[in-house]
A and B are shown apart, each in its own frame.
Chain A
């Protein structure tokens, strides 16, 4: 099998490849609760199933996260989006983009896919209403040409959800 889906992007550097393989091994030994990595041969794009935690608005709902790694991972954050349908959440746009600071400005190379997943599940779990962000329509319209969320200038204002 070839990784055709990743052909448009630059291949992972050797360091990125090494690190991702280590992360994958670690994931398989000790996956974060509520997540399931869908097996594929593509190291550069992970698809991860996330199941809403019990006792939250998203209990037993399953969504899919798509994680794309840049050539310079982990120096640069991966691009993380929800595949359609994205959960209804005040910080998740209908095109799957997630407003979460660690995915952009606050990324640190010491973070891992696993730690990102936990942050996202935590974000879902602390939600009190199932609704889209206020500016959802405008934002999604702006992204119609397939813009990556990493090119968005995010404004992180809400630390409660």
Chain B
């Protein structure tokens, strides 16, 4: 084992045995254990950022070192603060292949998982998906001049979600506006889910007259709706 045919001249050296040739390109070096210099197995990383195989580091800290120091930079190493690296690849070989003879290596520390991200607030949850869909469609299809398609999709989506008279009517003339002006304003659809606020149409420059009409109609609808609500409420 000790002699592996290194008797060649230094210049023409080639890795003598497949067991150790590995891949010697420099990219792999970023993921090599700082102790065995192999691709890290059961990789763990210290808070000071140094990568090791878990078995290598465990063995060093528990059986050979006199202190709990990082072998690279001598920073204090606390086992409970080691971060395991979970890559995508599965362990192709039995993890015990890197066992150190006569030594029991415990499982490597597990990751400290913060709680899952909280769900978005209900308002945003209602509006955003449609805004995003609309945006995506418009952005994707505008070069082919199919703004109407995006708008149509949005309208049906909204109509399906809140099938009220108000919404359906509103989309009716929102469409008219978009046909005329959206080509230059792909973001028009984003204000769409504002739910009938007049600022939806402020982007339609060059169509001031129609805008004012729309605002008026909108206002009228709103008033009508409120009246309707009041009547219902009073009943």
Contacts and interface: CB of A to CB of B under 8 A. Distances in A.
SS class, residues of chain B in contact with chain A = loop
Interface residues of B, number: 38
A136 to B, nearest CB: 28
Interface in B1-33: 1-11, 13, 15-17, 19-20, 22, 24
A19 B74 CA distance: 21
**Dominant SS at the A interface?**
loop
Nearest to A15: B36
A28 B11 CA distance: 7
A2 B3 CA distance: 7
Query: Interface size bucket, A side?
Result: 20 to 34
Given A18-B20, A75-B59, A76-B64, A110 B7 contact: no
A143 interface: no
B33 to A, nearest CB: 9
B71 A108 contact: yes
B149 interface: no
Contacts of B20: 17-18, 21-22
Nearest to A106: B74
A106 to B, nearest CB: 9
A41 B7 contact: yes
Contacts of A22: 20, 22, 37-38
Interface stretch (A6-14, A79-87, A90-98, A116-124): A6-14
B79 to A, nearest CB: 17
Given A22-B20, A22-B22, A28-B13, A109 B4 contact: no
Nearest to B56: A109
B57 to A, nearest CB: 9
A3 interface: yes
Contacts of A1: 3, 7
Nearest to B35: A109
Nearest to A18: B20
Contact of A17 (B4, B69, B100, B101): B4
A24 B36 contact: no
Chain B CB within 10 Å, residue with most, of A1, A13, A25: A25
B96 interface: no
A14 B1 CA distance: 8
A21 B63 CA distance: 24
Given A17-B20, A24-B13, A39-B8, 14 more contacts: A3-B3, A13-B101, A14-B1, A15-B100, A17-B4, A21-B20, A25-B15, A28-B10, A39-B6, A39-B7, A42-B2, A74-B36, A108-B71, A108-B74
Interface of B: 1-11, 13, 15-17, 19-20, 22, 24, 34-38, 50, 56, 59-60, 63-64, 66, 69, 71-72, 74, 98, 100-101
Closest 7 CB pairs of A and B: A110-B71, A21-B20, A44-B2, A108-B71, A3-B3, A109-B35, A75-B64
